[in-house]
Structure formats: structure tokens, C-alpha cells
Amino acid sequence: MASVIGLVIVMINEQRNTLGSRIFLKLFFGFIIVILFSMTIVSLMIARQMQQDSLREMDNTLKNQANMLRQSISTTASTTQKDKLQKLVGRLGQKMMRGQQS
């Protein structure tokens, strides 16, 4: 009789441990999923911010280079050279726009 009671107590303890470990595993994997989801969202936000910063930096660099070129041309070029250059830049801009539309 004592051995049967002992066996029942062991079985009850095993069921408690199994139930506890199942709940623990469910909670553990649930937290892992939440953490991975959060990390993915944060990574995407950081990547987007880095891309925007990079584009902004390129835009500023190109504007500065264009301003420096304009200043150097305006002081050294004659009127006829400026007109030719303006036409050349216009054609180049049209070609670039056609290339982007394709």
C-alpha cells in the first residue's frame, strides 16, 4: 500500500513538473517570438533611417558641387561660353530624364 501511494505521489509530481515545463516553454518561446519581432522592426527602422541620411548627404554634396561649379564658371567663362554650356547642360538633363523614365 505504501508503495502504491509513493508511486501516485511520484506520478503527481511528474505531471506537475511536466505541466510547469510546458507552461515555461510556451512562455519562453512566446517571449523569443516577441523579441525577434521587435528586433526586426527596429532593424527595419534603422535601415530606413540610414538610407534617408545617405540620400540627404548625397543631395547636399551634389548641391555643393553644383554651386562650386557655377561659381567657378561664372567668373571665368564668357557670355558665349555660358550660353553653350547652358544648352549642353539642358540637353544632358533631358537625356538623364529620358533614361530615368525607361
Q: What is the pLDDT of residues 32-80, one digit of tens each?
A: 999 999 999 999 999 999 999 999 999 999 898 888 877 777 776 677 7
User: Residue 88 gets which letter from DSSP?
Assistant: H
Local structure of residue 30 (DSSP, 8 states): H
Is the pTM for the entire model greater than 0.75? Answer: no
| Phi, psi dihedrals of residue 77, rounded to the nearest 5° | -90, 145
Query: What pLDDT is recorded for position 82?
Result: 74
Domain of 16 in residue numbering reads as: 2-101
Q: Rounded to an integer, what distance in angstroms lies between the CA atom of residue 102 and that of residue 99?
A: 5
**10-33 pLDDT, tens digit each:** 655 666 655 567 787 788 889 999
How many domains does the chain fold into? 1
**First-to-last CA distance in the chain?**
89
Distance between CA 69 and CA 74 in Å, rounded?
8
